[in-house]
Amino acid sequence: MQDIAGKIERRTTADEVFDRMHEEIVSLKLLPGTKLSEVEVARRFGVSRQPVRDAFSRLENLDLLLVRPQRATEVRPFSMQRIAHARFVRLAVELEVVRRACSVWDDTRGEVLQQNLDRQLQAMESAQLEEFHALDYEFHALICELADLPLAAVTIKESKQKIDRLCMLGLGKHSEASAVLEDHRNLASALSKRSKDDAISATRQHLSRLDETISEIHRTHSAYFESDLGFDDLRDPSRTN
């Protein structure tokens, strides 16, 4: 019985360490390239090294940490190749979601989505960028749920996590958050009209908007990136020929 209780306690501790470190990495409190030590992190959280090791492994699986034998663990730099793939997967899924949403949309669903939009506006106006980022997540997950495709939100979240840190850099200005909110409003309007063409157009516009931001961040923060192809090259293979 004690062994079972011990395993539950260790799992809970590992979850807590994971959640706190995930938030710090995604919010850029820990920048790409930052060196991390199991011993130091364990001391900081007041836990043993095992839950820290477990948390490191989970973060590595999300491409957020680079864990190498006999070398310091570090916050993983951005990879343009992984970002381009994540963007491709997310676009494919979200386009199908909005098509389905248009076929079932009604006023009740629209009211639920509007509540999220109202909270986005409040977060933006009060410069609560982390809250705005969370509401952005919620907005896309809500559309999946309201379209009766809740599991699609899991795939979107997995793809979105690949570029969460870039999103935080991109949302560092009020103007960027304002553009995202306007895209969300346009998509909500298309859904209210049950117009598949408008919803698809709004989704493509929304997701492509970040492409320019990614390329700009790659140019201005090159030290945060792995040495792979630029995002523009990956979107247009002819540029590498």
What is the predicted pLDDT for the residue at 10?
47
Which two structure tokens, joined as six digits, stand for 60?
Answer: 């590595």
Is residue 5 scored above 50 in pLDDT?
Answer: no
Q: Based on the domain organization, do 36 and 112 belong to the same domain?
A: no
Provide mean pLDDT across the span 95-100: 98
Taking only the tens place, the pLDDT of each residue in 28-40 is 899 999 999 999 9
Residue 22 lies in a domain: yes
Ordered strands of the 73-75 beta sheet: 35-36, 73-75, 65-66
What is the predicted pLDDT for the residue at 76?
92
Q: Based on the domain organization, do 129 and 151 belong to the same domain?
A: yes
Q: Based on the domain organization, do 207 and 115 belong to the same domain?
A: yes
Taking only the tens place, the pLDDT of each residue in 50-93 is 999 999 999 999 889 999 888 889 999 998 898 999 999 999 99
Q: Based on the domain organization, do 203 and 125 belong to the same domain?
A: yes
Q: What is the band of 199 on the pLDDT scale with cuts at 50, 70, 90? A: very high
Q: Based on the domain organization, do 36 and 116 belong to the same domain?
A: no
Residue 197 lies in a domain: yes
Q: Based on the domain organization, do 144 and 214 belong to the same domain?
A: yes
- Which range among 107-116, 160-169, 191-200, 209-218 shows the weakest confidence by mean pLDDT? 160-169
Polymer length in residues for the chain: 241
Q: Based on the domain organization, do 198 and 84 belong to the same domain?
A: yes
Residue 22's nearest CA partner among 30, 11, 10 is 30
Q: Based on the domain organization, do 91 and 188 belong to the same domain?
A: yes
CATH number at residue 178: 1.20.120.530
More confident residue, 159 or 194: 194
CATH number at residue 38: 1.10.10.10
What is the predicted pLDDT for the residue at 7?
44
Provide the residue range defining the domain that includes 110.
Answer: 80-221
Q: Based on the domain organization, do 11 and 107 belong to the same domain?
A: no
More confident residue, 206 or 4: 206
Q: pLDDT averaged over the chain?
A: 87
Distance of alpha carbon 57 from its chain centroid, rounded? 19
Question: Which ranges of the chain does DSSP label H, i.e. alpha helix?
Answer: 2-26, 38-45, 49-61, 80-104, 107-125, 129-146, 152-161, 164-170, 174-192, 196-220, 231-235
Backbone angles phi, psi at 65, to 5 degrees: -125, 150
Residue 207 lies in a domain: yes
Residue 203 lies in a domain: yes
Taking only the tens place, the pLDDT of each residue in 99-111 is 999 999 999 999 9
Provide mean pLDDT across the span 13-25: 93
Q: Based on the domain organization, do 98 and 53 belong to the same domain?
A: no
Q: Based on the domain organization, do 95 and 183 belong to the same domain?
A: yes
Taking only the tens place, the pLDDT of each residue in 122-151 is 999 998 988 998 999 999 999 999 999 999
| Number of structural domains in the chain | 2
Q: Based on the domain organization, do 91 and 57 belong to the same domain?
A: no
